Amino acid sequence: MKRSSATSQAAVTRLARAVSILGHPMLVMPLAAWLATRNRHADAATASPVLAAIAALGLLVLAYSASRVRGGHWQHVDASAPGERRGLNVFLLGLFVLAAALAAWLSGHSPITIALLLAAAVILLALLTAAWCKLSLHVAFACFAIFVPGNLAVAAGMAILAIAVAWSRRVLGRHDRRDILVGALAGIVAGILFQTL
């Protein structure tokens, strides 16, 4: 019986890890952007630069995280320790502010500019609330992604993904309930603002 329970727990942990990886903000937000461009019937000439920019941001974050691990500053690219998270969030804030400024310069008041500014605001909130909670960026961006595509069926699918991501982060012990709720609230507010701005 004990062995069966351990096997079941290991399977749940593997599933949670897979959901957490699939629900990573650098996968969820590009997917939401791609779905939004498809929903708006944008041509490839419009969609490609947006997706390339998001992919470039993701690669920069991955390169930064990998360099921190290789340099011995972090234990894991997940940046779970408080000092690691602060460093990552400061880097992300700067990156998203610069990306939003570049997007504004190139395309003015566009959806990508607004999304980048709101992403920066979520990161800033994570920094400002760090003494009180470890805001789940996975959950925040999964909830934000619900509002990006502009299609009810896709939004429902994204909402299911956001719930699964919240579950996975809890099962993996990355966040407590407060971290997940604050992350969800931040993402929902960002998503509503994205729809209204």
pLDDT classification of 44: cutoffs 50, 70, 90: low
On the question of pLDDT at 74 being above 70, the answer is: yes
Contact 121, 190 (CB under 8 A): yes
Residues of 40-59 as b/e, b for ≥16 C-beta within 10 angstroms? eeeeeeebeebeebbeebbe
More confident residue, 81 or 43: 81
Measured CA to CA in angstroms, residue 13 lies from 20, 165, 168 at distances of: 10, 13, 8
Residue 111 pLDDT exceeds 60:
yes
Question: Exposure of 131 by Cβ count < 10 A (0-12 exposed, 13-18 middle, 19+ buried)?
Answer: exposed
How many other C-beta atoms can be found within 10 angstroms of the C-beta atom of residue 9? 11
11 burial type by CB count under 10 A (0-12 exposed, 13-18 middle, 19+ buried):
exposed
- Output 46 or 188, whichever has higher pLDDT: 188
Q: Token digits for 146?
A: 């619900």
> Tokens 């629900």 belong to which residue?
23
Would the pLDDT of 2 be above 90? no
Report whether 20 contacts 165 (CB < 8 A).
yes
**pLDDT score, position 1:** 56
Average pLDDT of span 80-99: 93
Q: DSSP label at 160? A: H
Q: What is the pLDDT of residues 159-194, one digit of tens each?
A: 999 999 999 999 999 999 999 999 999 999 999 999
pTM score of the predicted model: 0.93
Residue 145 · residue 29 · CB < 8 Å? yes
